[in-house]
Amino acid sequence: MLVDSVDLDERALPVVHAWIAYVEDRALQWPAKSSARREISMEVVVDDCVSALPLLLGRDPDTTLR
């Protein structure tokens, strides 16, 4: 679904699947720590996850995937 929605080639599917697993892992790890033990904010986690996909796809991280 993500591959179609941002008009990626089917060859990107393994990378997108790996990225989704990474995002899910980060989403599960962040709330597992108490707020006193969290070293970064949720906003930083989201920014890291969003910026990772273009990098993994070999694209400019400052461009929006469309």
Per-residue model confidence as pLDDT tens digits over 48-59: 998 898 899 888
Q: For residue 7, give its domain range.
A: 1-32
The single-letter code of the amino acid at 14 is P
pLDDT at 59: 82
Residues 6-65: tens digit of each pLDDT: 677 888 899 999 999 999 999 999 889 898 898 899 999 999 998 898 899 888 777 666
> How many structural domains compose the chain?
1
66 pLDDT band, cuts 50/70/90, is low
Neighbouring residues of 60: CB distance < 8 A, sequence distance ≥ 6: 54
User: Which residue is associated with the tokens 């890291």?
Assistant: 48
pLDDT at 15: 92
In a domain, 60, yes or no: no
In a domain, 65, yes or no: no
The single-letter code of the amino acid at 5 is S
